[in-house]
């Protein structure tokens, strides 16, 4: 560190988390290099549903989740798939996942998630403005729709957690839903709009614009793969890359699902697992919702984007290396037709694109934010699971504060990477 507190910092990973973190570090006057073997925003940040939902405080493992699993697994259209050959590898993560779903734990997790999610759009706004990317971020709310009172009641705990964490919403009856979105299936009997939520109309382009602004303002992006770290008495001296070393004083591991092996290099065994998800996009769709619309039972989101209608969802537990099963993406089209009956059953291939990505998930639905075990100079910022877009800004700002030796604007204790010991 120089006398004025300026550090040379490597940020490993150019997804939404890495690029946002790098932007905040640069604003604090550090000398920042992003390392990524690919282009910015081509990992999981590429194809997500784009939602900046401050309301996403509900952990994935909830009391009772395990009871739903058999129904989900036996339904070919269901939202969850486990590849059985992967089960022995997955088992320890699953055990932790189930244990994370007790009432007192989910209450604490929801509170911690809210601290990263609240005012996420406001926190990102200065970076978005400087990047001239305001056109890519909208704040018009998020609609949740229900087919039956039973499914609404099944989510009562989720809505209680939202209410307890200061989230407000408006409820719509069957008739009011019609007026809100006349294209929606008449089978929906209830809708809920959370107005504080927003979305990006193109997550890939958003990350690209933020990365471009970062470079314009003096940051560097190098196409290199980080493979390890060089330490001297617990102090970081360099990041080891596949093609040589980069001398730095601090580093941030923001490589999404690929962070696990980098953390292992520093003696941290973090139970990071991929919750594989899919999207299917329709260009020039016959209908599109005005705001992102989520079906509570089918567990997918239909988001209006600049390149068409994006249908995103599905959790597939099959590890990093198994090839995608594109049928999972096609199922999203069937679900969407039940949401918007005027969509076609089939589209010519040139109007459809599909994608699979890896949600970097920890069993308690909270990311890992904080110092590595072997060196306080290496800060982790990964494991954001289903909510990486929404949490990136506050994560990035907190990490920049940690590296600058300042108090963090969110309490990072619940996100300690050491909580899995
Ligand atoms: C179907 C789906 C829908 C989703 N919808 C939403 C949503 O609506 N809202 C929301 O908030 N979240 C959503 N998510 C989750 C969100 O996409 C992720 O949490 C987020 O993109 C993770 O960002 P990241 O920067 O941590 O990782 P990534 O975007 O995966 O970036 C990691 C980067 O690290 C790079 N990298 C890997 N290894 C190395 C290495 N050794 N050295 C250097 N660089 C390396 C990769 O090339 C990549 O660019 C969704 C996810 C899926 C799959």
Residues having CB closer than 6 A to ligand 1 are 12-18, 35-38, 42-45, 48-51, 225-226, 254-256, 258, 277-279, 312, 357, 359-360, 382, 384-390
Longest CA–CA span in the chain (Å) reads 67
Compute the distance between CA of residue 315 and CA of residue 60 in angstroms, rounded to an integer: 11
Ligand 1 atom, smallest distance to 46 CA: 29
Model pLDDT, residue 64: 86
42 CA to centre of ligand 1 in angstroms: 8
- Cα of 45 vs centre of ligand 1, distance in Å, is 4
Q: What is the DSSP string of 162-174?
A: HHHTT---EEEEH
pTM of the model: 0.97
Q: Which of 294, 328, 388, 399 to mutate to test the pocket of ligand 1 (most atoms within 8 A of CB)?
A: 388
Tell me which of 359, 360, 369, 392 to substitute to probe ligand 1's pocket, judged by most ligand atoms within 8 Å of the beta carbon: 359
Pairing status of strand 293-295 against strand 300-305: antiparallel
DSSP letter (8 states) at residue 47: S
Provide the β-strand partners of residue 11. Answer: 34, 252
Q: Which two three-digit tokens encode residue 378?
A: 């290496």
Q: What is the pLDDT along the chain (421 residues), one digit of tens a residue?
A: 554 689 999 999 999 999 999 999 999 999 999 999 999 999 999 999 999 999 999 999 999 888 888 888 888 888 899 998 999 999 999 999 999 999 999 999 999 999 999 999 999 999 999 999 999 999 999 999 999 999 999 999 999 999 999 999 999 999 999 999 999 999 999 999 999 999 999 999 999 999 999 999 999 999 999 999 999 999 999 999 999 999 999 999 999 999 999 999 999 999 999 999 999 999 999 999 999 999 999 999 999 999 999 999 999 999 999 999 999 999 999 999 999 999 998 899 999 999 999 999 999 999 999 999 999 999 999 999 999 999 999 999 999 999 999 999 999 999 999 999 7
Token pair for 227: 């493979």
Index of the ligand 1 atom closest to the CA of residue 279: 1
Instruction: Tell me the H-state helices in 181-339.
Output: 203-216, 259-265, 327-339
Strands (E), 129-175: 137-138, 142-146, 170-173
Q: In ligand 1, which atom is closest to the CA atom of 391?
A: 11
Nearest to 396 by CA among 409, 385, 381, 411: 381
Contact present, 48 and 214 (Cβ < 8 Å): no
**Of ligand 1's atoms, which has the minimum distance to the CA of residue 356?**
53
| Centroid of ligand 1 to alpha carbon of 389 (angstroms) | 8
Best CA proximity match to 298, nearest among 334, 274, 325, 327: 334
**Among 37, 44, 292, 317, which is best to mutate for testing ligand 1, by the most ligand atoms less than 8 A from CB?**
44
Round to whole Å and give the CA distance between 321 and 362. 18
With 0-12 CB in 10 A as exposed, 13-18 as middle and 19+ as buried, what is 117? Answer: buried
Q: Which of 312, 309, 250 is nearest to 12 (CA)?
A: 250
Which residue among 14, 43, 47, 382 has the greatest number of ligand 1 atoms within 8 angstroms of its CB, and so is best to mutate?
Answer: 43
Q: How far apart are CA 331 and CA 80, in angstroms?
A: 12
Q: Name the burial class of residue 142, with classes exposed (0-12), middle (13-18) and buried (19+) by CB atoms within 10 angstroms of its CB.
A: buried
390 CA → ligand 1 middle, Å: 12
Q: 275 C-alpha vs ligand 1 centroid, how far in Å? A: 11
CB 368 within 8 A of CB 240: no
Tokens 């729709």 map to which residue?
145
Which protein residue has the closest C-alpha to ligand 1 atom 52? 48
- CA distance from start to end of the chain: 31
Cα(44) to ligand 1 centroid in Å equals 3
């Amino acid at each position: 560190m120089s006398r004025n507190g300026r550090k040379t910092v490597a940020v490993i990973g150019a997804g939404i988390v890495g690029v946002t973190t790098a932007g905040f570090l640069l604003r604090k006057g550090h000398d920042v290099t992003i390392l990524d073997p690919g282009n910015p925003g081509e990992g999981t940040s590429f194809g997500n549903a784009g939602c900046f939902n401050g309301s996403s405080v509900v952990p994935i493992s909830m009391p009772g989740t395990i009871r739903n699993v058999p129904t989900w697994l036996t339904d070919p259209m269901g939202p969850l798939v486990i590849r059985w050959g992967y089960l022995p590898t997955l088992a320890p993560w699953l055990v932790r996942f189930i244990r994370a779903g007790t009432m007192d734990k989910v209450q604490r997790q929801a509170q911690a998630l809210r601290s990263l999610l609240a005012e996420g759009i406001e926190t990102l706004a200065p970076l978005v403005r400087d990047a001239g990317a305001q056109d890519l971020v909208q704040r018009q709310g998020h609609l949740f729709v229900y087919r039956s009172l039973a499914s609404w009641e099944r989510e009562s705990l989720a809505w209680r957690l939202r209410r307890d964490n200061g989230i407000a919403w408006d409820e719509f009856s069957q008739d009011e839903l019609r007026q809100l979105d006349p294209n929606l299936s008449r089978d929906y009997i209830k809708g809920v709009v959370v107005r504080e939520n927003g979305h990006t109309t193109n997550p890939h382009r958003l990350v690209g614009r933020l990365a471009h602004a970062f470079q314009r303002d003096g940051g560097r992006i190098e196409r290199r793969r980080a493979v390890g770290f060089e330490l001297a008495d617990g102090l970081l001296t360099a990041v080891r890359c596949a093609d040589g070393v980069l001398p730095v004083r601090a580093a941030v591991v923001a490589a999404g699902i690929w962070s696990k092996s980098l953390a292992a290099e520093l003696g941290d065994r973090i139970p990071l697992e991929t919750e594989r998800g899919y999207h299917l996009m329709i260009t020039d769709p016959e209908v599109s919702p005005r705001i992102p619309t989520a079906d509570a039972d089918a567990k997918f989101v239909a988001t209006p984007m600049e390149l068409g209608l994006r249908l995103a969802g599905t959790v597939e537990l099959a590890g990093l290396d198994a090839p995608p099963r594109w049928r999972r993406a096609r199922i999203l089209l069937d679900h969407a037709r039940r949401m918007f009956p005027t969509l076609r059953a089939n589209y010519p291939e040139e109007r459809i694109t599909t994608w699979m990505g890896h949600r970097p998930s920890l069993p308690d639905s909270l990311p890992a934010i904080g110092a590595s075990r072997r060196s306080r100079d290496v800060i982790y910022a990964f494991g954001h699971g289903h909510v990486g877009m929404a949490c990136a800004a506050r994560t990035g700002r907190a990490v920049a504060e940690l590296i600058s030796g300042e108090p963090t604007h969110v309490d990072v204790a619940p996100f300690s990477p050491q909580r899995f010991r």
